Amino acid sequence: MDLDPDLAALRSLGGFFVLRTLPPPPPPPPPAAAADGTGPHRLPTLAEAYDGVAPDGRHDALTLRVATVGARLGTAEPRVAASLAQQGLAARLWSAALGCAVLYGRLPSLDPGLLRWDPLASAPDDLWLTGVRTLPGDADAVAAAVLDAHLEPLGAALRARYGVAAGLLRGNAGSALAATARELARWARAHGRTDAVERARALTGELFTHPLLRATGARAGTAFRRHSCCLYYRVPGGGLCGDCCLTRLPRSSPRAASG
């Protein structure tokens, strides 16, 4: 199936999979015209976020996103907020890419310069794709689109700014991919799409052989047990995720300390 301009097939999969599209940006207004500063075309691109560019000259998107996630979770630890912000964005990117690869057999270009992002939005991350450019939908293309183009530069920025370990961030990527695959398989079975079940399984299996993902956790069917911890247990009121490597809360966790 060819990609349609609205990527409409993703809508039935749920909010994490939907990828809204935009026409190419309008020409800049004349110098004398007042810009209203609103609308998706005014949002920063993910390329700007990874590079630390501040479109308004004051606040870069990645710093804003980490602060937003931290405030909503009630954590004062930037490293925790950075980990969970990265995991949320990883889930959105895997969902859009894998959803397209499974349902269309094709992939839209997810170049960071084409994806606009609202760092102040609630979960799931609010993404807008400027124009649909068709790419192959195989595992190599999905890995290049998500891991190489996004999660590696995002991880480098978060390590440099917040000291988040590379293994933790790659564990987040593996966890988000496994969760995406489970949700796709659940949807496909509910809709009698055995073809989609098989395609999702095959693509996910290939992706987990990638050097950046193969050591992130143990898989059994759609189940996944990661080899690292995302630090959610350090959020006030948080606990252990279903795929966490830990079996009980560490003594240093807010909940364990108050229990």
Q: What percentage of the chain reaches a pLDDT higher than 90?
A: 80
**Section 4-19 average pLDDT:** 94
**121 pLDDT above the threshold of 70:** yes
Instruction: Count the neighbouring beta carbons within 10 Å of the beta carbon of residue 125.
Output: 20
pLDDT bucket at 41, cuts 50 / 70 / 90: confident
pLDDT at 57: 63
Q: Round to whole Å and give the CA distance between 246 and 13.
A: 31
Question: Structural domain boundaries of the chain?
Answer: 8-23+41-223
Q: Round to whole Å and give the CA distance between 233 and 245.
A: 12
Nearest to 113 by CA among 124, 101, 128, 123: 128
For the stretch 179-219, pLDDT in tens is 999 999 999 999 999 999 999 999 999 999 999 999 999 99
Q: Which residue has the higher pLDDT, 161 or 26?
A: 161
Mean pLDDT of the chain: 90
Q: Round to whole Å and give the CA distance between 44 and 29.
A: 18
State the residue for tokens 């003594």.
Answer: 251
For the stretch 84-104, pLDDT in tens is 999 999 999 999 999 999 999
Q: Which residue has the higher pLDDT, 187 or 25?
A: 187
For the stretch 149-177, pLDDT in tens is 999 999 999 999 999 999 999 999 999 99
Q: Say if residue 211 is preceded by a cis peptide, omega within 30 of 0.
A: no
pLDDT bucket at 32, cuts 50 / 70 / 90: very low
Distances (CA, A) of 17 to 71, 186, 219: 25, 14, 22
**Section 61-67 average pLDDT:** 95
**Section 123-139 average pLDDT:** 93
Query: What's the token pair of residue 7?
Result: 């990527």
Query: Residues near 156 by Cβ (< 8 Å), separated by ≥ 6?
Result: 50
**31 pLDDT above the threshold of 50:** no
**Section 20-30 average pLDDT:** 69
**Helix 166-190, helix 152-162: angle, nearest 10:** 140
**Helix 166-190, helix 194-207: angle, nearest 10:** 170
**259 pLDDT above the threshold of 70:** no
CB 232 within 8 A of CB 82: no
Half-sphere exposure of 223 (CA within 13 A, CB side): 4
